[in-house]
Structure 1
Amino acid sequence: MMKKKKMRFTQLLWCLLLLLGFGFLAEAILDPVDFLALQAIRKSLDDLPGSNFFRSWDFTSDPCGFAGVYCDGDRVLKDLRFLAISRNFISGEIPASLGEVRRLRTLDLSYNQLTGTIPPAVGSLPELSNLILCHNHLTGSIPPFLSQTLTRIDLKRNSFTGSLSPASFPPSLQYLSLAWNQLTGPVDQVLLRLNQLNYLDLSLNRLTGTIPVNIPTVDLSYNRFSGQISPLLSSVENLYLNSNRFTGEVPAIFVERLLSASIQTLYLQHNFLTGIQISPAAEIPASSSLCLQYNCMVPPIQTPCPLKAGPQKTRPTTQCNEWRG
């Protein structure tokens, strides 16, 4: 469903909850307040191309016959499981009243203009499985999420701050994206309990620490991770460690797995790495990508790097000496 005109989120949510969350009388003549709520929803939203969801909403028949409206006698059932209002111009704060929709499983408010924090009541939803709030203007810290069926959290491109608490995320998580925020502090204890992750994106924050889990795709670029690269990360298929403060040599296990095509992406550019044991004659498999430029070494092998890596092959010697202390 696409938005016709700008509406504050609290207004739209009030209409939706009135319709689906709390029920209304459906007698011969519908209550005027409920009738206006239905009209507000219908006038504010259009079907997506190819969809006829709203065709039955002609207001000449019993509202219990409308698509998406389920009644028991003269009342609408509480059956709101999926709420997706993405890619609109919704502004304002996320209302805490969403926490009253206890059976909500998917909440997608992405690509809007929402501000404020995530209400703790949303984090307390017991059956939440998918939370997608990316591309908004949300601030504050990330609250604990209590649902033990939560598998996907996407909060990228907001302005969240503070450190991550081990209690913030349940072990059921499979997808976690917190990129493009202002998060700080270590991530070690948070990730130790997330043993079902298959996608992790913490890029463009100010995070530190080590990554103790094996995940197919890990993006830690543009952070403040330092020290030597852990060999444990060699099990990752797509690894983005660029634009950090890693030092020392690249562990040999990474070269072995890269040449065997077990690693498909290995981005190490813009660090302070001093060497990698790989032959200049080595052939990188066509399915794999390696970028080493702008470190404290002369890259022994020339491989294609992304354009944003810049043209410089090595980091200035003065920077490398300063980093070594």
Structure 2
Amino acid sequence: DLYFIMTIFVIVLTVDPGLGKVDKNTLPQQTLMELLISGIVDPMNKICSIEDRPEISDWRGVTCNADGDVKEIRWVLIGGVGGTIALEWLPSSVERMTILQLKLCGGVFDISSLPPRIVEIRVSVKLEGTVDLQNLPASIEKFALTGCQLTGTLNLESLPETLTFMRFKENRFTGSVCLTRLPTKLEVLSLAKNQLTGTLDLTNLPAGMKRLFLNDNHFRGELDFTQFPLSLLTLDISDNEVSGE
């Protein structure tokens, strides 16, 4: 098949003999996008087109700039999409990514490989591993990993100040979380339906916080409800072992 032969040919030419791996930055955007979806079942009919090798600007849910660089990927509940998606091949030009496909698997999620100027990430596919939030791109504003089956702990103390929205609902995160050093611009935070533990300090939330979801975890202890920001509209701490006034 010409589609796969050309992709493999380009990869072979760009392998660093000393490192034994591909330098992603040397690959054309067309090839990177083809590698991104190479594990998806029947991608030609679901995402590309019936052509042998359609230009990525013609792909469903893909927006490119005048130079042909991918700026946005939006694949939301496309019927019949299954298999795997290789997020490590995201082009470095991508600024917004929304992939909500619950039947997809994405392997290990490596934050350090995200595009450096990405602004928005919304992903709901089955992933593996932990999330090192210290490596989030400084440009990020909205970050959501929902129902991804991710594990490990969450360090929320050094998040980018650009962040306004963060959702980690329905994963398998464990351990305690610090909510006193969140980004000052953060308006929405959801840690609902995980396996988080420990006590909560809600006395120093961001001044503009609007919605906070901590429900369905294993938090415990007394809470101080007297120092919430005036902007707070929604607080859900149900299904925990907490109390307070």
TM-score interval, smaller chain = 0.5 to 0.7
- Whether the 8 Å CA contact 1:96–1:121 is kept in 2: the answer is no
Q: Contact 2:110/2:131 (CA < 8 Å) preserved in 1?
A: no
Conserved 8 A contact 2:111-2:131? no
1:205 matched to 2:194: yes
Give 1:226's aligned amino acid: R
SS at match of 1:111: strand
Aligned pair 1:90/2:82, yes or no?
A: yes
In structure 1, the residue matched to 2:228 is 233
Q: Does 1:194 align with 2:188?
A: no
Residue number in structure 2 paired with 1:107: 97
Count residues in correspondence: 199
Classify the secondary structure of the residue corresponding to 2:113. helix
1:122 aligns with 2:113: yes
Partner of 1:217: 211
- In the aligned structure 1, how far is the partner of 2:151 from the partner of 2:56? 45
Listed as ranges, the matches of 1:23-42 within 5 Å are: none
Q: Specify the SS of the correspondent of 1:96.
A: helix
Match of 1:161, SS state, is coil
- Helix, strand or coil for the counterpart of 1:203? coil
> Helix, strand or coil: the match of 2:228?
helix
Amino acid in structure 1 at the alignment position of 2:93:
R
Q: Return closer, same or farther for 1:240/1:110 CA change in 2, 3 Å cut-off.
A: same
Q: In structure 2, do the counterparts of structure 1 residues 188 and 66 end up closer, same or farther at CA, with 3 Å as the change threshold?
A: closer
The answer (yes or no) to whether the contact 2:158–2:181 under 8 Å persists in 1 is: no
- Residue 146 of structure 1 corresponds to 136
Equivalent position of 2:169 in the other structure: 179
Shift of 1:106: 0.8
Structure 1, residues 123-181: CA drift from partner, whole Å, max 9, x if none? 3x2110111112x2212111334322211111111211111124773221111111111
Cα offsets for 1:257-305 (capped at 9, x unmatched): xxxxxxxxxxxxxxxxxxxxxxxxxxxxxxxxxxxxxxxxxxxxxxxxx
CA–CA separation in structure 2 for the residues paired with 1:225 and 1:65 = 47
Q: Which has the larger radius of gyration?
A: 1
Cα distance, 1:193 vs. partner? 3.5
Identify the structure with the greater strand proportion: 2
Query: Shift of the alpha carbon at 1:23?
Result: 6.2
Shift of 1:94: 2.5
TM-score relative to the length of structure 2: 0.66
Unaligned runs of 5+ in 1: 1-10, 25-36, 47-53, 72-76, 251-325
Could you tell me whether the CA contact under 8 Å between 1:131 and 1:152 is conserved in 2? yes
- Tell me if structure 2 keeps the 8 A contact 1:142–1:168: no
Secondary structure in structure 1 of the residue aligned to 2:101: coil
Please list every run of 5 or more consecutive structure 2 residues that lacks an aligned counterpart in the other structure: 12-26, 31-37
Instruction: Return the TM-score normalized by structure 1.
Output: 0.51
1:87 partner amino acid: L
| RMSD after superposition | 3.7
Q: Which amino acid aligns with 1:138?
A: L
Distance in 2 (alpha carbons) for counterparts of 1:222 and 1:42: 40
The CA distance in 2 between the partners of 1:143 and 1:137, in whole Å, is 17
Whole-angstrom CA distance in 1 between matches of 2:218 and 2:56: 56
Contact 1:94/1:117 (CA < 8 Å) preserved in 2?
A: no
Distance apart, 1:97 and its partner CA: 2.0
- Residues 240-270 of structure 1: per-residue CA shift (max 9 Å, x gap): 11111113x42xxxxxxxxxxxxxxxxxxxx
C-alpha contact (below 8 Å) 1:93/1:117 kept by paired residues? no
Greater RCO, 1 or 2 (C-alpha within 8 Å, sep 6+): 2
User: What amino acid is aligned across from residue 217 of structure 1 in structure 2?
Assistant: R
How far apart, CA to CA, are the structure 2 residues paired with 1:240 and 1:225? 12
Q: Distance in 2 between matches of 1:116 and 1:65?
A: 26
Which whole-Å CA distance do the structure 1 matches of 2:126 and 2:213 have between them?
22
Question: Percent identity between the aligned chains?
Answer: 15
1:168–1:102 Cα change, 3 Å: farther
| CA distance in structure 2 between the aligned counterparts of 1:193 and 1:245, rounded to whole angstroms | 23
